[in-house]
Structure 1
Amino acid sequence: MATLTHDTVVVSNRLRSGLLCAALSAAAFGLSGPLARGLMDAGWSPASVVIVRVLLGAVVLAPVAAVQLRGDWNLLRRNASLLAGYGLLAVASAQLAYFNAVAHMAVGVALLIEYTAPIAVVVWLWLRHSQKPGRATILGAILGVAGLILVLNLRSGAQTSWIGIAWAMGAMIGAAAYFILSAHAGDAVPGTVLATGGLLVGGFGILAAGLVGIVPLHATTAPVAFQGLTVDWWVPILALGVVTAAIAYVTGIAATRMLGSRLASFAALGEVLAAIVFSWMLLGQTPAPIQLLGGALILIGVVFVRLGEPADDQNAP
């Protein structure tokens, strides 16, 4: 009986710690859009913001990754294609598209569009691997598409940024690549090593594209203005690199390992709420009621999509 009680306490503590890490990760990721929008309004290009964010995050995570690697540099060579794909698709493309989207539309709306990524993953697995979705998954996809239509609010009479929508859809594709590549078994690459390698590849990839003129690179030392607050340029830069990159990835990885991928993915939906709150606080952006309804449908749809997945997560407490 004592052993059973001890095991129950351990599982309860693990669940509590995992949910705390997941909440911290969601809040940290949700802060990235508003901070990036402030920098872009001050004269920074989206590519420059992404480069600084991911490379600074990689510098912070590098010591932890080196410890996890334990001198096994062959592990990196054996998984070079995975690291390259993760860096270019899941990091560079997703972040660059998302920051370009928030430059043309509200942060919360852009993130809600990006969060239709699990539906894209279902379609990909169906077409590529003939994994036919179940009823719950199909219902979730229908709810997600309906929510997306409401989020776009096309019949409101307000001007719709089709450029922003296109960028947000690009971010959705990048996020779908993140889910697919993160689930790749590869050669058992530790989570922090994968994150650090991906951040480095993504950051230097966008930097190279900027140096040859593919994407514009602009930066300024002008103060950054938020709603009722003006700060030096380095304050949001430091927060983007340390908080929204390094801390967000580390706590997200920890949450996944303590909760299992399915429960952690549910908890990660808090990023949308965090982004909406931070956008309201820092930018004064508030979604219309019909967009909030659409966002709720998207999140409910994602939950159904997750519930429709095979229950093969062996790490769940």
Structure 2
Amino acid sequence: MTHDTRVRSRVGVGLLVALGAAFSFGMSGAWARGLIDAGWTPGAAVAARVWVAALILLVPTILTMRGRWTLLRRNAGMIIAYGLLAVTATQLFYFQAVAVMDVGIALLIEYTAPVAVVLWLWLRRGEKPTGRSILGAVIAFVGLVLMLDILTGARVDGGGILWALGAMVGAATYFVLSAREDTGLPPIALAGVGLLLGAVGLTIAGLLGILPMAWSFDDVAYRFGTVPWFVPVLAIGLLATALAYVLGIASTRILGSRLASFVALAEVVAAMLFGWMLLDQQPAGIQLIGAVLVLVGVVVVKLGEPAVAEEPLVIV
């Protein structure tokens, strides 16, 4: 009985930490939209976010990697793919999407990533999805159609949808790479190195003119009023990235990847909440129905996954 009480207490703490991670990640889009509306390009907003988070996680990464630096050379290809695709591309495409559409809708499109993972494993490895996974994918697709409000003839920003789908591909890449058990890399080290690599890559792309970079030091307007430019920058880098990664790592070590990934769906609710609080973005009724169907579809897809041994997994 004492053991059961400890287990329940540990799970309870893990759930609180996982919810904290989801809400931390969920606030990024709303803060970034304020910067973009104030004259920042999405590339500049992402670069600021990634640099702040990378510098904050630099010391923990170094401490974690002491005596294991050879792992970086051994896994160089995977680390580069993780930094450029799973971290940088995901965040950049998401910020590009929120520049032209509601943050909650953009994130919901990104969160169809588990469906893409199932499809990838089927095509690449021949891991045929279960009937439940197929049903979940269909439900999520129907929800996506309703969420984009296509049936009522509403104006849909095609570019925003493509950017959000690009973020979905990046997130799917993240899940595939994070599930690898043969790297030996601690989760916090993979996150720290990936963020640092992404920050350097974004900076080089900006210097070469490949990625438009523009900043503004004017005050940034939100629903509650205006704040200095560094407030949203610190909020995105410190709260929505560095803290979110740390909480995500801690929660997955307590709960395991399967349960933690379910709780991470709360990030979508958080994104919509912060979109309303900071930007006064309110989805239409049919979009809310579609959002619910997308979440239900993703949950059904995950329930259809074959049971595997739990491994630590960082939540993006």
How high is the TM-score relative to the length of structure 2?
0.96
How many matched pairs? 312
Structure 2: distance between partners of 1:186 and 1:282: 42
Find the counterpart in structure 2 of residue 203 from structure 1: 199
3-state SS of 2:27 partner = helix
Runs of 5+ in structure 2 lacking a partner? none
Equivalent in 100, 110, 129 of residue 133 of structure 1: 129
3-state SS of 1:15 partner = helix
Per-residue deviation, 1:35: 0.3
Find the counterpart in structure 1 of residue 107 from structure 2: 111
Equivalent in 195, 214, 223 of residue 218 of structure 1: 214
Find the counterpart in structure 2 of residue 237 from structure 1: 233
Letter in 2 for 1:233: W
RMSD (Å) for aligned C-alpha atoms: 1.1
Structure 1: distance between partners of 2:228 and 2:31: 12
Query: Structure 1 segments of 4 or more deviating over 6 A?
Result: none
3-state SS of 2:226 partner = strand
Letter in 2 for 1:198: G
Q: How does 1:59-78 map to 2 (within 5 A)?
A: 59-78=55-74
Letter in 2 for 1:78: R
Per-residue deviation, 1:315: 5.4
Find the counterpart in structure 2 of residue 101 from structure 1: 97
Q: How does 1:110-189 map to 2 (within 5 A)?
A: 110-189=106-185
The answer to whether the 8 A contact 1:259-1:315 is kept is no
Per-residue deviation, 1:295: 0.7
Per-residue deviation, 1:141: 0.4
Partner deviation per Cα, 1:2-47 (whole Å, 9 max, x = no partner):
xxx2321221122011101110000000000000000000000101
Structure 2: distance between partners of 1:314 and 1:101: 33
Partner deviation per Cα, 1:190-227 (whole Å, 9 max, x = no partner):
01000001101111112111111111000111100001
Q: How does 1:12-91 map to 2 (within 5 A)?
A: 12-91=8-87
Structure 2: distance between partners of 1:194 and 1:246: 13
Partner deviation per Cα, 1:233-269 (whole Å, 9 max, x = no partner):
0001011111011000110111111111110000000
Equivalent in 186, 191, 196 of residue 187 of structure 2: 191
Letter in 2 for 1:162: G
> Which shifted more, 62-71 or 37-46?
62-71
Find the counterpart in structure 2 of residue 296 from structure 1: 292
Structure 2: distance between partners of 1:161 and 1:315: 39
Equivalent in 244, 266, 270 of residue 270 of structure 1: 266
Equivalent in 255, 277, 280 of residue 276 of structure 2: 280
3-state SS of 1:88 partner = helix
Structure 2: distance between partners of 1:257 and 1:306: 19
**Identical positions, percent:** 53
Partner deviation per Cα, 1:41-73 (whole Å, 9 max, x = no partner):
000010111111011101111111222112321
3-state SS of 1:160 partner = coil
Residue 87 to residue 147, structure 1, CA distance change in 2 (3 Å): same
The answer to whether the 8 A contact 2:109-2:144 is kept is yes
